[in-house]
Structure 1
Amino acid sequence: MLLDSASLYFRAFYGVPDTVKAPDGTPVNAVRGFLDIIAKLVTDYRPSALIACWDDDWRPGWRVELIPSYKAHRVAKAVPGGVDVEETPAALVVQVPIIREVLDAVGIPIVGAAEHEADDVIGTLATRTPGPVDVVTGDRDLFQLVDDAHGVRVIYTARGMSNLEVLTGDVVRSKYGVRADQYADFAAMRGDTSDGLPGVAGIGEKTAAALLADYGDLAGIIAAAEDSGSGMKPAARARFAAATDYLAVAPRVVEVVRDLPLPEVDARVASPSDEGRAALQALSERWGLGGSLDRLLTALEA
């Protein structure tokens, strides 16, 4: 099981009241909510291995260079030559190091990669790991990883932890009218305002799906748009002609990286060591983790 960590701790932060605090007054609603999310996932899906995938760079410079608007509306502070600071509530910022500390003590490995997002870490691990693999995220961009033959599915959290949706190839096709391996091309055409991707003007989901059904992939669609004898409607051909520059770079931005040189980690689900338990007891007392940590430990032991 591969966790899109930021997606989940943001969900936890907004799903648990900010009145949940440590003895010293530090907010721990995201920490406790994140632990409860993991406990539920482990209980319901019983993974044999578990990795918390991390955004070492939530807005990689190489993606921004290709499409400058990429996540630009979410930048709180630009850092020349460094990682831009994402607009994040201060009450959540202080909890992220605590989340990392607790995961370390529990024994859940955290894996990130320089100049890459958690999506890319997930894409690499899902591709190189023998299935089955469950990807847990609220980000539909990762639907492109669904692969029934390899046993990769997405556990989608957008409708809440009490209403999780498991996406297989059939589900992706029924929701969007495209195969999972066409989803990245579909997303590039549709665009995504939450990521600052403009898409192809005038091409919505239904049209994008119809074009993929007719021409197979984005390369085939672009070729048809450039061919006056292809049968593509003139209006659609004009829209793709106007989006030539965007389409030259969009696939690389939208597609997750699948070949990062990530280290091997021992991600087997197990109870914490005696040393880990001692550290967890101290963390629990310091941060007031109470029942949330207990529920996670019970789930891991089971």
Structure 2
Amino acid sequence: MIGQVTRRLMLLDTASLYFRAYFGVPDSVRAPDGTPVNAVRGLLDFIARLVQDHRPDELVACMDADWRPQWRVDLIPSYKAHRVADEPAAPLTAGEHAPHTGDYAEEVPDTLAPQVPVIEEVLDALGIARVGVAGYEADDVIGTLATAAGGPVDIVTGDRDLYQLVSDDRAARVLYPIKGVGTLQIVDESWLREKYGVDGSGYADLALLRGDPSDGLPGVPGVGEKTAAKLLAAHGDLAGIMAAAADPASKITPAQRKRLVEAREYVAVAPRVVRVATDVPLPPFDPALPRTPRHPTALEKLAERWGLGSSLHRVISTLGA
């Protein structure tokens, strides 16, 4: 069960990882029929390395069931709006979703989208829990699981938005890939304070003030990362900053006061968009790390069909160890 203190939970921001795998593994890696499987094999190599290096007891591949939830768009219409034109032209098959790109470019490469259903089938055949919930992004699934867990949590993602979940009290940290997953930045509260001047709980407010063009979040004009950090240090949190902006006696500079007051409408709704959900209604699933494949016959057929070779063997061997 998730929440046992003695068990380490690893949460994969799956789309972020297979997007990195796609760009990190040459597209000359192909199935017997010539179909590129570089994202599939790259993700399997990532999983093998992560399990080998970090030895989680539980592993969940978190999925984007909805990469641009309507409830977020209703609050901020520009949210990921520039990515809509970059969606695949052909309808996606059942269970397939346009990948969340994290820190990579927004467009979904033509040869990546067809690999997503293969990834899902392979994970299911291995018995690795795969969780996505309609109306929510993978970030929200991760936020819900990380918040509910009572023991150590490792969140593997190339998306800095999830720094907001870092908590030393809850032993929740982010493993941010620098070079594949063999070289990871371990993000804890000490690292966040040194890098950004905030802890995990303050990172969402910093991101909200700073804005994020890749997600269509305008931020407060004229307030960059350093200014946002200084405002948070002086006033505690977003509510404290806005209270100070409304108080003529506060020490906020006139220029900052003007910018914050003019951005009140954005600041009022942005927290619900920027902060990950922590109350997603999750379906039943077993997070336990499988020691042997759940569906070996199906896995054998997938391995032959897609030429998964050493990547799949490495995962199976690592799980068995």
- TM > 0.5: yes
Structure 1 contact 13–29 (Cα < 8 Å) conserved: yes
Cα distance in 1 for residues equivalent to 2:162 and 2:197: 16
Is the alpha carbon distance of 1:288 and 1:59 closer, same or farther for their aligned partners in structure 2, counting shifts above 3 Å? Answer: same
Cα distance in 2 for residues equivalent to 1:186 and 1:261: 28
Structure 2 contact 128–290 (Cα < 8 Å) conserved: no
Structure 1 stretches of at least 4 aligned residues deviating more than 4 Å after TM superposition: 83-86
State the one-letter code of the partner of 2:243: A
Equivalent residue, structure 2, for 1:12: 21
Is the alpha carbon distance of 1:157 and 1:259 closer, same or farther for their aligned partners in structure 2, counting shifts above 3 Å? Answer: same
**Structure 2 counterparts to residues 5-44 of structure 1, below 5 A:** 5-44=14-53
Gaps of 5+ in 1: none
Equivalent residue, structure 1, for 2:93: none
**In structure 2, which of residues 200, 204, 224 is the aligned counterpart of residue 204 of structure 1?**
224
Equivalent residue, structure 1, for 2:233: 213
Cα distance in 2 for residues equivalent to 1:195 and 1:157: 20
**Structure 2 counterparts to residues 151-300 of structure 1, below 5 A:** 151-273=171-293, 276-300=295-319
Structure 1 contact 147–180 (Cα < 8 Å) conserved: yes
State the one-letter code of the partner of 1:180: G
Cα distance in 2 for residues equivalent to 1:193 and 1:142: 16
State the one-letter code of the partner of 1:235: A
Deviation of 1:5 (Å) = 0.5
Secondary structure of 2:239's aligned partner? helix
Q: In terms of mean alpha carbon deviation, does 70-79 or 14-23 score higher?
A: 70-79
Cα distance in 1 for residues equivalent to 2:147 and 2:78: 29
Cα distance in 1 for residues equivalent to 2:179 and 2:256: 34
TM, length-normalised to structure 1:
0.95
Cα distance in 2 for residues equivalent to 1:98 and 1:4: 17
Equivalent residue, structure 2, for 1:60: 69
Deviation of 1:200 (Å) = 0.7
Deviation of 1:85 (Å) = 5.8
Deviation of 1:153 (Å) = 0.6
Equivalent residue, structure 2, for 1:301: 320
Cα distance in 1 for residues equivalent to 2:71 and 2:191: 32
TM, length-normalised to structure 2:
0.89
Deviation of 1:58 (Å) = 0.2
Structure 2 contact 37–115 (Cα < 8 Å) conserved: yes
Structure 1 contact 17–29 (Cα < 8 Å) conserved: yes
Structure 2 contact 12–155 (Cα < 8 Å) conserved: yes
**In structure 1, which of residues 60, 63, 71 is the aligned counterpart of residue 80 of structure 2?**
71
Secondary structure of 1:155's aligned partner? strand
Deviation of 1:271 (Å) = 2.1
Is the alpha carbon distance of 1:68 and 1:264 closer, same or farther for their aligned partners in structure 2, counting shifts above 3 Å? Answer: same
RMSD: 1.8
Cα distance in 1 for residues equivalent to 2:21 and 2:88: 26
Cα distance in 2 for residues equivalent to 1:173 and 1:214: 15
**Residues matched between the structures, number:** 299
Provide, for residues 81-136 of structure 1, a one-character-per-residue CA deviation record: whole Å limited to 9, x for no partner.
xx996741120011000000000010001101111100000000001122201100
Cα distance in 1 for residues equivalent to 2:139 and 2:69: 11
Is the alpha carbon distance of 1:78 and 1:100 closer, same or farther for their aligned partners in structure 2, counting shifts above 3 Å? Answer: closer
Equivalent residue, structure 1, for 2:102: none
Cα distance in 2 for residues equivalent to 1:157 and 1:58: 21
State the one-letter code of the partner of 1:217: D
Matched, 1:3 2:12: yes
Deviation of 1:167 (Å) = 0.7
Structure 1 contact 2–136 (Cα < 8 Å) conserved: yes
Cα distance in 2 for residues equivalent to 1:40 and 1:148: 24
Q: Percent identity?
A: 60
Provide, for residues 127-186 of structure 1, a one-character-per-residue CA deviation record: whole Å limited to 9, x for no partner.
112220110000001000011111111001255423211111111111100111111111
Gaps of 5+ in 2: 1-9, 90-95, 100-106
Secondary structure of 1:90's aligned partner? coil
Deviation of 1:231 (Å) = 1.3
Structure 1 contact 61–115 (Cα < 8 Å) conserved: yes
